[in-house]
Amino acid sequence: MTSYYRKGFGLKAAIEGQLTADYSSAVVDAFRAGNYRLTAGPLEFRLAREFGFCYGVDRAVEYAYETRTKFPDRRLFLVGEIIHNPHVNAKLTAMGVEILHRAESGGFDFSPITAADVVILPAFGVTVLDFNRLRAIGAVLVDTTCGSVLNVWKRVESYARDGFTAVIHGKYFHEETRATASQVTRHPAGRYLVVLDMVEAREICEFIEGRGDAAALERRYAAAMAEGFSFDRDLVRIGVANQTTMLSGESLAIAEELRMSMIRRYGEAHLAEHFRTFDTICSATQERQDAVVRLLETGPDLMLVVGGYNSSNTTHLAALSRERGVRTYHIEDATAIDLETGRLRHQPGLKAEERIEDHWLRDARAIGITAGASTPNNKIGETVLRVCAVAGVEPDLPV
């Protein structure tokens, strides 16, 4: 019989010292003490007031550390990455946690796992199919799925239960969206469709209003829709949800666009029969986006956004900054700044190839900085110190 844990093991005191050693930062502490500003010669760093690890990430990382302490002699497996930060995942690997990666076919190979092993489910959650496969093996399951993600699951599952197709604003290839979309399979007639952005949402709106080729759309969205999905049949009743880390304003705008299409198609008096929506952006994502907007209002010369390239919330923080016309660099960590040449390596957009900048720091005096919800504080601190080293200045840190 599978043992299933979701509420921790009460071992926080035992792991607290290691977590502090692995992820804390004196530089970030100095930012907090200095009203989120830090000077270094002529430079002033301005840190967003909401940044880095959110509650869900904190919980997932703590729970993974507790699991290693609770089961010191067991083999530990992690289904995918615990969060989208290479350093955190590397720490877990160093602790003896084996990370399982998706095969090219899109599935996980669970054949090495036995009933004697322990399996950690990541903060993004896993699909219904993968969860059932793991339960059948009988291994101990430690579930770190974020509570905000679980709230979206409940919403999507309720749509499927009531005969509404879930239209999900998200990235169909992202682990969270895969897991969320799979919740419709709890009901035989459950259906989902994933739209990436407003462009795709408007294509769906066009079809709802009677314009568009169903066959062409089914080919285009083949990887982003449920098996057996029919554009003719499954867009009559829809419920909108979103990946928790998408840009809030875009999610709300997409929901409104779909709502208006349903009104034009069926009339406002019948809207409730055909359309449902609920804002499922997580509060931490929203807070970090709002904090970046407030920081940009102070007029920084450039923005550094620190975090994994495959971190959805981090890429959206960078996009938010670029959209407001601020020179923005999304870097994974401090090593993106070359100490010898001063060059900076960054990702200029979602899934874009890395780019090298030669004179990125020229004429910059006010440097804004933030980090995605999966970025530990020490990576923020290391980045600030690396910028100072390249600029030839010393940060004003308390002794």
Q: Please give the distance of CA 94 from its chain centroid, rounded to a whole number.
A: 23
| Helix intervals (H) in 24-85 | 26-33, 55-70
- In DSSP terms, 39 is beta-bridged to 44
Distance CA 21, CA 250 (A): 38
Q: Are 369 and 384 in contact (CB under 8 A)?
A: yes
DSSP 164-226: -EEEEES-TTSHHHHHHHHGGGGSTT--EEEE-SHHHHHHHHHHHTT-S-HHHHHHHTGGGB-
* Residues marked as catalytic: 176
Taking Cα atoms as reference points, which of 229, 170, 236, 232 lies closest to residue 201? 170
Distance of alpha carbon 23 from its chain centroid, rounded?
Answer: 19
Please report how many Cα atoms fall inside a 13 Å half-sphere around the Cα of residue 245, on the Cβ side.
27
Rounded Cα gap, residues 333 and 85, in angstroms = 10
Cα angle vertex 387, ends 381, 390, to 5°? 140
For 91, the token pair is 């720490």
| C-alpha Rg value of the chain to the nearest Å | 23
Measured CA to CA in angstroms, residue 253 lies from 82, 201, 285 at distances of: 30, 10, 17
Phi-psi bin for 80: left (phi > 0), alpha (psi -120 to 50), beta?
Answer: left
Per the structure block, which two tokens stand in for 130?
């993968």
Query: 86, 308 in Cβ contact below 8 A?
Result: yes
